[in-house]
């Protein structure tokens, strides 16, 4: 088993397609999967792209729960697959009863600092540090610090 892992949430459709095809070409006897982070809100799209190019495993988490921007939402994958053996209703109940209240206590999912790290192909640890500091909403300064820009 080989996973394509987008830890920075920086992959786009073309990169996902290339990596899945290359892995399948080189590792002919291995199953291929994807683990996508949602920094740019592309985890679901990239997971679908991987499925289209014959990835056999796709990671997803309920309500996209995961480090920083989170992962591909499992409920979206189940809805996409439209397989009658998968019942989305218990997952929707779990989201309503447990994950919505949990989201009030913990931060994960798409927010601008994670989008910036994804755009710049940077590890999200810088965004996580920003979110824990006094300037957590100063997005322009954060962008400029990562991009090496001083454009004032």
User: Which residue(s) pair with 11 in the sheet?
Assistant: none
pLDDT in tens, 88-141: 999 999 999 999 999 999 998 999 999 999 999 999 999 999 999 999 999 999
**What strands lie across the sheet with 32-36, from one edge to the other?**
2-6, 32-36, 57-58
Q: In this predicted structure, what is the pLDDT of residue 9?
A: 96
Residue 134's contacts (CB-CB under 8 Å, 6 or more residues apart) are none
Those residues with Cβ within 8 angstroms of residue 84's Cβ, 6 or more apart along the chain or in another chain: none
Question: Does residue 121 come out as left (phi exceeding 0), alpha (psi in the -120 to 50 range) or beta?
Answer: left
pLDDT bucket at 149, cuts 50 / 70 / 90: low
3-class SS at 150? coil
Residue 61 has pLDDT above 90, yes or no: yes
Say if CB 71 and CB 93 are below 8 A apart.
no
- pLDDT tens-digit map of 7-54: 999 999 999 999 999 999 999 999 999 999 999 999 999 999 999 999
Sorted by where each starts, the structural domains of the chain and their CATH numbers stand as: 2-109 (3.20.20.70)
Which residues lie below 8 Å from residue 113, measured CB to CB, with a gap of 6+? Answer: 124, 126, 127, 130, 131, 136, 139, 142
* Residue 91: closest CA among 81, 104, 78, 110: 78
Contacts of residue 76, defined as CB under 8 A and 6 or more positions apart, other chains included, come to 44, 60
| Crossing angle of helices 112-119 and 139-147, rounded to 10° | 20
């Amino acid at each position: 088993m080989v996973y394509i892992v987008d830890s920075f949430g920086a992959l786009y459709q073309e990169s996902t397609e290339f990596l899945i095809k290359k892995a399948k070409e080189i590792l002919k006897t291995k199953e291929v999967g994807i683990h996508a982070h949602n920094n740019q809100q592309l985890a679901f799209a990239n997971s679908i792209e991987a499925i289209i190019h014959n990835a056999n495993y796709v990671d997803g988490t309920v309500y996209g729960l995961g480090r920083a921007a989170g992962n591909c939402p499992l409920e979206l994958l189940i809805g996409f697959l439209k397989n009658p053996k998968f019942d989305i209703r218990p997952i929707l109940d779990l989201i309503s009863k447990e994950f919505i209240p949990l989201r009030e206590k913990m931060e994960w999912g798409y927010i601008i600092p994670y989008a910036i790290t994804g755009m710049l192909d940077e590890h999200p640890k810088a965004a996580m540090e920003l979110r824990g500091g006094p300037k957590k909403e100063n997005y322009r300064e954060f962008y400029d610090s990562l991009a090496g820009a001083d454009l004032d």
